């Protein structure tokens, strides 16, 4: 999982977080999205970690 964070000064929601994730780097990133809400970012990270733990493969 790769998080890319930047801010857009002056925006009503200035935070931008690009989230890219995969459990198999040989196949590239399977999912990319951009979020503006911290709780949604934390939720995405938690979901990813939960999925990795469930798969027992230590997802990267």
Partner 1 sequence: MNAPDQPASGAGSRSSHGPRISLLGGFGLSDGRVDIAIAEGPQRLLAFLALRKRPVRRTLAAGALWPDVNEEHAGSSLRSTLARLDEGARSALAVTASQLAIADRITVDLWESEALARRLAGPHDSLTVDRSSSAAVDALSSDILPDWYEDWVIVEAEAWRLQRLHALETLADDLRREGSYGQASTAAQAAIDADPLRESPRAALIRVHMAEGNVSDAIREFTRYRALLKRELGLEPTPRLQALLDQVR
Give the footprint of partner 1 on this chain (CB under 8 A). 2, 4, 6, 8-13, 16, 22, 25-26, 28-29, 34, 36
Nearer to partner 1, 30 or 53 (CB): 30
Give the burial class of 28: count Cβ atoms within 10 A of its Cβ; 0-12 exposed, 13-18 middle, 19 or more buried. Answer: exposed
The rounded radius of gyration (Å) of the Cα atoms in the chain is: 13
Nearer to partner 1, 28 or 56 (CB): 28
Cα–Cα distance, 42 to 25 (Å, whole number): 22
Q: What's the min distance (Å) between Cβ of 55 and partner 1?
A: 17
């Amino acid at each position: 999982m790769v998080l890319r964070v930047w801010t857009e000064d002056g925006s009503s929601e200035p935070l931008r977080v690009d989230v890219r994730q995969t459990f198999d780097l040989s196949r590239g990133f399977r999912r990319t999205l951009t979020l503006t809400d911290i709780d949604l970012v934390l939720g995405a990270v938690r979901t990813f970690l939960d999925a990795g733990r469930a798969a027992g493969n230590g997802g990267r």
